[in-house]
Structure 1
Amino acid sequence: MRKLEIGIAGAGPAGLAAALFLSRAGHRVEIIERFDRAAPVGSGLLMQPTGLTVLHALGLFDSIRALGNRIDRLHGADALSGRTVLDVRYDAAPGGRYGLAVHRAALFGVLHDAILAQGIPIRCGVSLSAAVLRAGKRSLMDKDGAEIGSYDLVIDASGARSPLITGSSSAPIVRELAYGAFWATLDAEDTVSDKRALTQRYDKAKVMIGVLPAGRARVGAADKTAFFWSLKLADVEATRAAGINAWKNRVYGYWPDSAPFLDQILDWDQLVLARYAHRTALPPFADRLAFIGDSAHSTSPQLGQGANMALLDAAALSHALEIHDDLALALPAYARARRDHVRLFQMLSLAFTPFYQSDSAAVAWIRDRLVSSIAKVPPMPRLLASIVAGTLIDPFESTGLSECRWQRDCEPLHWIA
């Protein structure tokens, strides 16, 4: 394909990764960001073998593994009985895969540093409202109706509440989920938790508490832990009104070992409320306009796939532009490359969510007694490991990637002692 003028809306992981792929392919790229300074949003996240493979393709794997913390399993127990109801181990499937817990600032920093080294411009403080077709190009418009730039292709990586997709023919039906979560980024030192696991405690499906040892935000910084409390959004105001100490006492009652984390939380300002929605853009493109990441698809965080799916989107779009000489062919090829993987994991996320975030006591009973027993019987451990890793079906070939050789090239350098 001839070299394109490309505007990318959003400086999150999807937008930054897409900019790197496309700039290295020779396209002229600029990023437009609504914040006055490009910066990460959120706490820790779990990088799966899928997202790590994309970072490896960008030459950034060594940088992120030096900051992240290896995760070998996901473990959850009933908060009242102590019974294990979730135990998914990456090594149940062959290949030596693992997860890497990272601080969002670490992922952003690694990608952003590469953007700066590549000389890709980022225009900050610009709130976009629309991407309009004009004379065979896409014009990005700001909230006052002024044209920000005209491009051969616009990539919308601005997230689940993107104004660009709202006005598009691909605008999805949004299903807001009833449950969200409070998140906090806390010091990891002197805390009691399994350093190799995402650890959770449950009371039926109404309460979920989690701890993710998330590594460091940057070289030389202290190790951090992402701590979260799942709750129904309708209960948020009542929870806040009861006071921070009442909430902490409730958490402590479920999980006494969480005290080292709770002691660090002094007021509500330390907790960020995350809201979730299920949405899918069909198709994830329009004329000279492509949607990637949460702009194209989002769901509950139960399988920890969000950032990883976004990075796969960036790789798939770049690959489609590389192998097709016309946008009219490349954009549908991008959609085909991601269709099956996205649909499968959205379906799985929807299926798993009620078992961990719902008002149903019956579903929780099934999870704790039936599902947890079945999960131990072959081939279920291997199947669950592939689901968590994001590799239940191959997401790599269609995006032009080769999966990392985990046991040879991709051993983590940084381990939390």
Structure 2
Amino acid sequence: MGRAQSWRGARCAERFRRRRDLTHRYQERRLDLPIALKDCPAWARRFGGNGQISGHRERFDEPKPVGSGLILQPTGLTVLADLGLLDDILALGSRIDRLHGADAKTGRTVLDVRYDAQRRSRFGLAVHRAALFGVLFGAVRREAIAIETGVELETLETGERATLICGNGRRIGPFDLVVDASGSRSRLRQRVQNPGELRPLAYGAFWASLGWRGDGFDEHALLQRYDRASVMIGVLPIGRPEPGAEKMAAFFWSLKPADAEQVRATGLDAWKARLVRLWPECEAFTRQLDSFDQLSLARYGHHTLKVPAGRRWAIIGDAAHSTSPQLGQGANMALLDAAALNYALIGTDRVDTALEVYVRARRWHVRVFQALSLMLTPFYQSDSTVMPFVRDRLVASVAKIPPAPNILASMVAGTMIDPFRRIGIKEAQWPLRCGG
């Protein structure tokens, strides 16, 4: 035990020394780095600590989280550990050890993935978006980073420096670098060469954040029920949105956004009755729903920028690559982008060189997981009858045969391709216990 503690202490000291030396190199000059922010205050926190950010611009009247629950994979948790925020988020979230899905009619297991199949002690952490936002935003405020709200950014002009243009014609800048973290419907993205179009996916989901009810559910698992690929019901324990709050669950039902009005017209009671017929234990959650107003409709799209950077600006998160949440990588990809851009800028004196390093560092990890998401989503969300048949009979059987469990675990964890080495960070040391 003493040796292990000494070894870990030495590793922490070495990592701190390396980051300190790099930071001192970079602090010799100051860059003005505004952030068009939607879903990645992690980048503001990271560079605010180095005294580099002039501020960030937020479209809403006040910064706030958007969405329900998500799973922080070992990738995203490693970035939070590198920021010194791992303990804060562990105190709020719910540790997830496995993902389990079954056919709603037969009870046949069709998905069973354990994080520790690839590497012992790995896990995911399910969190309310408010918890992740609160941890990151609290760190941003502690760094006294300026935040300007109610700003509707329209485009930007780039040259020797970059200037943001607002919808009302106001000009903000100039800046050394603009970071676009404004989400999948980014307007700024249209300025990049070959931006492509966001392709809407046929299926989205109704979701709600509800009080956690443990009877018949595992607090350390994402549980799902399927009826072919046209119906997917999910219950994800997401811990607490803030310290002292009650434990919650993200509850979701997949459907086509085009069918949402028809479902509403049929009535809440009819929809709840159908859901309970497929998964009786879910009545513990459906009885918390009194109105469709408690349900949000999520719409998904697929889009990948070939080069998530331009002259004097970088694109991270969903603005650079968005897809179905089937693999649960979205927030984790954004955190990895933020870390990659941070270390690229720290490691060189030239912004254009740093952007090239950032693009290279993230290229293959993003492309592989975007392709996997596009390929696998129809097995769980589509009108196909063939794909769920293959999923239930063939894939479910093959998934039990080594090395399939390891491969599935690496897909879910986000580590099928090592995302850490090119960025310059090492995977976190995982605690044995966590969760709020």
TM over 0.5: yes
- Counterpart in the other structure of 1:45: 70
1:148-297 paired onto structure 2 within 5 Å: 148-189=172-213, 191-297=215-321
Percent identity over the alignment?
Answer: 55
User: Does 2:434 correspond to 1:413?
Assistant: yes
**Contact in 2 for aligned 1:65/1:412 (Cα 8 Å):** no
Ranges in structure 2 where 5+ consecutive residues have no aligned partner: 1-25
The match for 2:108 is: 83
- Residue of structure 1 aligned with 2:48, choices 23, 48, 53: 23
CA contact (8 A) 1:43 1:183 kept: yes
CA distance in 2, matches of 1:189, 1:90: 24
Conserved? CA contact 2:103–2:109, under 8 Å: yes
Pair 1:70 & 2:95 matched: yes
Q: Following the alignment from structure 2 to structure 1, what is the Cα–Cα distance between the partners of residues 322 and 246?
A: 31
Does the C-alpha gap of structure 1 residues 412 and 127 become closer, same or farther in structure 2, counting only changes over 3 Å?
farther
CA separation in 2, counterparts of 1:124 and 1:191? Answer: 43
CA distance in 2: counterparts of 1:300 and 1:190, whole angstroms: 28
Determine the C-alpha separation between the residues in 2 that align with 1:233 and 1:372: 29
The DSSP-based 3-state class of the residue aligned with 1:378 is coil
- Deviation of residue 11 (structure 1)? 4.3
Q: Structure 1: how far apart are the matches of 2:332 and 2:295? A: 24
Provide the residue aligned with 2:37 in structure 1: 10
The aligned length equals 409
Q: Shift of residue 132 of structure 1?
A: 1.2
Letter in 2 for 1:254: L
- The answer on 1:33 being equivalent to 2:63 is no
- Flag the 1:3–1:377 CA change in 2: closer, same or farther, 3 A: same
The answer to whether the 8 Å contact 2:94/2:435 transfers is yes
Cα pair 2:93 2:238 within 8 Å, conserved: yes
2:106 alignment partner, SS class: coil
* Cα drift, residue 36 of structure 1: 0.3
CA distance in 1: counterparts of 2:194 and 2:79, whole angstroms: 26
Displacement of 1:397 in angstroms is 1.2
Measured in 2, the distance between the counterparts of 1:234 and 1:39 equals 28
SS of the residue aligned with 2:204? Answer: strand
1:170–1:284 Cα contact (<8 Å) kept: no
**In structure 1, what is the Cα distance between the partners aligned to 2:325 and 2:357?**
27
In the TM superposition, residue 222 of structure 1 has moved relative to its aligned partner by 0.4
The CA distance in 2 between the partners of 1:59 and 1:250, in whole Å, is: 45
Conserved? CA contact 1:37–1:124, under 8 Å: yes
User: Would you say the 8 A contact 1:85–1:368 is kept in 2?
Assistant: yes
Q: Aligned AA for 1:111?
A: L
Q: How does 1:117-136 map to 2 (within 5 A)?
A: 117-133=142-158, 136=160
Partner of 2:347: 323
Give deviations 1:383-410, integer Å, cap 9, x for gaps. Answer: 100110001111001112110111xxx3
Contact persistence 1:192–1:260 (CA under 8 A):
no
| 2:44–2:53 Cα contact (<8 Å) kept | no
Structure-2 residue corresponding to 1:402 = 426
8 Å contact 2:75–2:336 — kept in the other structure?
yes
Q: Secondary structure at the match of 1:184?
A: strand
Please identify, of 125-134 and 251-260, the stretch whose mean Cα deviation from structure 2 is larger.
125-134
Aligned partners of 2:318 and 2:330 also within 8 Å? yes
The secondary structure found in structure 1 opposite 2:345 is helix
Contact 2:222 2:237 in 1 (8 A): yes
Q: Secondary structure at the match of 2:327?
A: coil
How much does 1:227 deviate? 0.2
- Distance apart, 1:414 and its partner CA: 2.6
Distance in 2 of aligned mates of 1:338 and 1:88: 26
Q: Distance in 1 between matches of 2:194 and 2:348?
A: 22
Correspondence for 1:92: 117
Name the CA distance, whole Å, in 2 between partners of 1:98 and 1:234. Answer: 36
Cα deviation for residue 233 of structure 1 reads: 2.1
- When residues 100 and 246 of structure 1 are mapped into structure 2, their CA distance, relative to the original with a 3 A threshold, is same
Comparing 78-87 and 123-132, the one that deviates more:
123-132
What do the CA deviations read for 1:236-259 (whole angstroms, capped 9, x no partner)? Answer: 111111111111111111100000
Stretches of structure 1 lacking an aligned partner (at least 5 in a row): none
Task: Confirm or deny: 8 A CA contact 2:234 2:252 kept in the other structure.
Answer: yes
Separation in 1 of the partners of 2:424 and 2:196? 27
1:343-362 superposed Cα distances (whole Å, 9 cap, x missing partner): 01001101110100011101
Residue type at the aligned position of 1:193: F
Return the offset for 1:144.
Answer: 1.1
Compare 188-197 and 90-99 and name the one that shifted more.
188-197
Q: In 2, are the aligned partners of 1:22 and 1:29 still within 8 Å (CA)?
A: no
Q: CA deviation at 1:191?
A: 4.7
String of CA shifts for 1:150-170, please: whole Å, max 9, x gaps: 211000000000111123324
**Pairwise CA RMSD of aligned residues?**
1.2
Displaced runs of 4 or more, over 6 A = none
Q: In the alignment, is the contact (CA less than 8 A) between 1:284 and 1:291 conserved in 2? A: yes
Q: Pick the aligned partner of 1:303 from 304, 327, 345.
A: 327
For residue 173 of structure 2, what is the amino acid of its counterpart? G
- Other-structure match for 1:376: 400
- Counterpart CA distance in 1 for 2:47 and 2:433 is 28
Matches within 5 A, 1:320-359: 320-359=344-383
Shift of 1:25: 2.8
